């Protein structure tokens, strides 16, 4: 099924070397499209997303995975996340509290265990149900195992059936923790060991 797209891990160096800004512009377009749909219904501008991507890429141990159409060369899907910490002096870093609004997830860092949180995974509407999200997620899981992460954490809206089904298919467990800021979103955990 991957005969028409490639999946690759993108680094900050890759983004810096893209002198024309085509990659980040494509990526922003995908994010704007995905988050304009239900249940999110956001109206992000591409400029806001491009700025946000710069910040995201500076967080601790950020990994960006993209799916690119082989023939047309544009981005058709992405996955973006970073390591979570209990606390950090660096305001760019993500903590369990910042993402959830509570300390209920802090236990994931007990015994110096490492957790990677995916804040965004999306595929353009016309390319859905072709295995792209699954391939993006599988590529990330392989990367996380290489980098010795213990857990992969995700959050999604309870109405996002496609994402929930992907989590189930890949062996995630839904946690009994709801997001304080967005109470209709739940957390999903995959042990990588």
Q: At 171, which CATH number?
A: 3.40.630.30
pLDDT of residue 1: 53
Residue 96 domain boundaries: 2-191
Rounded to the nearest angstrom, the gap between the alpha carbon of residue 116 and the centroid of all alpha carbons in its chain is 10
Q: What is the enclosing helix (H) or strand (E) of 30?
A: helix 22-35
Whether 106 and 140 have beta carbons less than 8 Å apart is answered as no
How far, in Å, CA of 133 to CA of 139, rounded? Answer: 10
pLDDT of residue 12: 86
How far, in Å, CA of 164 to CA of 69, rounded? Answer: 25
The DSSP call for residue 137 is H
How far, in Å, CA of 35 to CA of 148, rounded? Answer: 31
Whether 106 and 81 have beta carbons less than 8 Å apart is answered as no
pLDDT of residue 113: 98
How far, in Å, CA of 41 to CA of 32, rounded? Answer: 10
Domains of the chain: total? 1
pLDDT of residue 39: 87
Mean pLDDT per 10-residue section of the chain, whose length is 193 residues: 88 89 95 93 93 92 97 97 96 95 96 97 96 98 98 95 96 94 94 96
pTM over 0.75: yes
pLDDT of residue 173: 98
pLDDT of residue 98: 95
């Amino acid at each position: 099924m991957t005969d028409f797209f490639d999946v690759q891990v993108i680094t900050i160096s890759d983004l810096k070397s893209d002198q024309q800004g085509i990659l980040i512009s494509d990526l922003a377009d995908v994010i704007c499209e995905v988050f304009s749909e239900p249940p999110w219904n956001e109206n992000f501008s591409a400029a806001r997303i491009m700025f946000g991507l710069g910040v995201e890429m500076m967080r601790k141990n950020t990994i960006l995975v993209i799916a690119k159409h082989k023939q047309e060369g544009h981005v058709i899907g992405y996955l973006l996340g970073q390591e979570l910490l209990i606390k950090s002096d660096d305001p760019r870093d993500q903590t369990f509290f910042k993402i959830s609004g509570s300390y209920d997830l802090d236990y994931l860092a007990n015994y110096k265990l490492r957790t990677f949180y995916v804040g965004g995974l999306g595929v353009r509407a016309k390319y859905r149900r072709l295995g792209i999200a699954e391939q993006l997620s599988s590529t990330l899981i392989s990367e996380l195992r290489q980098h010795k992460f213990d857990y992969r954490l995700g959050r999604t809206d309870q109405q996002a059936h496609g994402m929930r089904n992907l989590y189930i298919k890949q062996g995630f467990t839904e946690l009994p923790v709801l997001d304080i800021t967005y109470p209709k979103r739940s957390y999903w955990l995959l042990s990588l060991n």
